Amino acid sequence: MSEDDLLLDQQLCFKLYTASRLIIRRYRPMLEALGITYPQYLVLLVLWEWQRCPPVQCTVKALGQRLLLDSGTLTPLLKRLQSLGLLTRQRDREDERAVCLQLTAAGLAMREQAMRLRQQLLCQQGLDTPAMQAWRLALGEQLQPLLALADEATGSV
């Protein structure tokens, strides 16, 4: 290890953090039009995904595992989405510890609006090109082992 290892530009975590912040900033106009925050958008992405391919149980626990978030972080997000009329939360009849999630008609309809706004956003930013899509896939594949290692080192949610 050398002193250069502690330079900011040598930190992969800083580059990932900065990239994440900048991308989320680009999403802000779309999210404001939808009336939601970025973390709420991530929750909706998973719930929309579950509409196509449902897990065994659509629970807060399963959502937390999918997003790598704990229930203390998810609960306020879910309460807000419920107050917006986008989802419902109900205790499972067989296991009262489990809270089941379901999109409302408004939550389902928001998917179409999000798709239009996202496409518009990507086009405006010049991000909807075949080269960009290929880069996104390649970067995602490269990051997957790093994410798995980081999750393993910190312990699962």
pLDDT in tens, 121-147: 777 777 667 877 888 899 889 999 988
Of 137 and 156, the one with more pLDDT = 137
If one counts every other C-beta atom within 10 angstroms of the C-beta of residue 43, the result is 24
If one counts every other C-beta atom within 10 angstroms of the C-beta of residue 14, the result is 12
Sequence-ordered alpha helix ranges (H) in 90-129: 105-125
Residue percentage of the chain with pLDDT more than 90? 61
What is d(CA 81, CA 43) in angstroms, rounded to the nearest whole number? 9
What is d(CA 52, CA 30) in angstroms, rounded to the nearest whole number? 23
Q: pLDDT (tens digit, 9 = 90+) per residue, 15-58? A: 999 999 988 998 898 999 999 999 999 999 999 999 999 998 89
The number of angstroms, rounded, from the C-alpha of 149 to the middle of its chain's C-alpha atoms is: 19
Q: Where are the domains of the chain?
A: 10-126
Fold classified for 10-126: Arc Repressor Mutant, subunit A (1.10.10)
pLDDT at 82: 98
The answer for residues whose C-beta is within 8 angstroms of residue 32's C-beta and 6 or more apart is none
